[in-house]
Structure 1
Amino acid sequence: MRLTTTGRRTGRQRSVIVAYVEDGPRLVTLAMNGWGEAEPAWWLNLQAHPDATVDLVGGRRQVRACAATGDERSRLWTRWREIDADLDALAALRSSETAVVILEPENQGAEHRTG
C-alpha cells in the first residue's frame, strides 16, 4: 500500500510503500527501516500526526495510526511470523522492539489511539 503521512517537521505530505496485512477493517504494518536501528521516518511522522491516507488497489482510505500493545501486539506479530518465518531473527538485529502499527479506518472510531 501507499501510505501518505504528514511530515513531523515540515508539515508536508510524504508517501512510502509499505507491506501490510488486513485485520478486519484495519491494516497492520511493521515499523522497520530495513531492520536497521533507526525508526522509519513514516512511523516518526505518524507518531507526531497519526491521521494519514492509504492507497490500495480498491481505493483510498483515511486512517488513524497507533502502535499495538500487549496481547494484541503478540497476536499481530504472530500473523506476520506466518508470512515471514525469519521475522524473529530479523527483529533480533534491532536493539529496540519493532512497532506493530495499526491503521484504523477513520470512520471506525479507533480504540487504540496514540496520546
Structure 2
Amino acid sequence: MSERLQRNQLVIEEFRSAGGVVGGDFEGVPLLLLTTVGARSGQPRTMPVTYLREGERLVVFAANGGRGSHPGWYHNLLADPVAGVEVGTETYEVTATEVEGAERERLWARQLEHTPYFAGFQERAGRRIPVVALTRTARL
C-alpha cells in the first residue's frame, strides 16, 4: 500500500471513529468520505474529500492535491455516477453531476473563499479542476 493510501486509510479510520471529525491537516476542514465503484476493478473505493455545502447538494473538487491528473474517484464517477457519502455520522447514496459554466465558476469562487490553498492546486495541476455536485438519492 502506498504512503498516500496509508495516510488516507488513517484519515478514514479517524473520521469513522470520531463521528466525522478529523484533526491534523484536516482540522476545521469540511470533509466527507466518498465511496465510488472502481471503474476498472468494480470494487468499492473510499476516499476522504473536502466538500462545500450548496443547499441540499454537496460539492466536491477533483483537485487531487494539485497533481497533473484527475483523482481516481473522479474517473470512477464518470463511469458510474452513483456513490455513497459519509458526512458526520450520516451515510447516504448520491448521484454525481459535473458542474459547468457559470455555476462551476461560482462554486469554485466559493470554495476559494473557504480554502484559499485550492488556488495553488489549480496552478500546480496545470489543468482545469472539475467541480462535481453530489445530490442525495437515498439513505444507505
Which TM-score applies when normalising by structure 2? 0.72
Q: Which runs of 4+ in 1 moved over 2 A?
A: 84-90
1:40 aligns with 2:109: no
Deviations 1:45-103 (CA, angstroms, capped at 9, x unpaired)? 00101000001114111101111101110110111011122433430222220001111
Count matched residues: 107
Aligned match of 1:76: 107
1:19 aligns with 2:53: no
Aligned match of 2:96: 65
Say if 2:63 and 2:118, in contact at 8 Å, map to a contact too: no
More helix by share: 2
Give unmatched runs, 5+ long, in structure 1: 108-115
In structure 1, give the amino acid aligned to 2:118: L
Aligned match of 2:24: none
Say if 2:65 and 2:121, in contact at 8 Å, map to a contact too: no
In structure 2, give the amino acid aligned to 1:36: R
Between Structure 1 and Structure 2, whose CA radius of gyration is higher? 2
In structure 2, give the amino acid aligned to 1:14: R
Return the structure number with greater relative CO, CA threshold 8 A, min gap 6: 1
Identity of aligned residues (%): 35
Q: What is the DSSP-based 3-state SS (H/G/I as helix, E as strand, rest coil) of the residue aligned with 2:50?
A: coil
Question: Please, what is the CA RMSD of the aligned residues?
Answer: 1.3
Give unmatched runs, 5+ long, in structure 2: 1-31
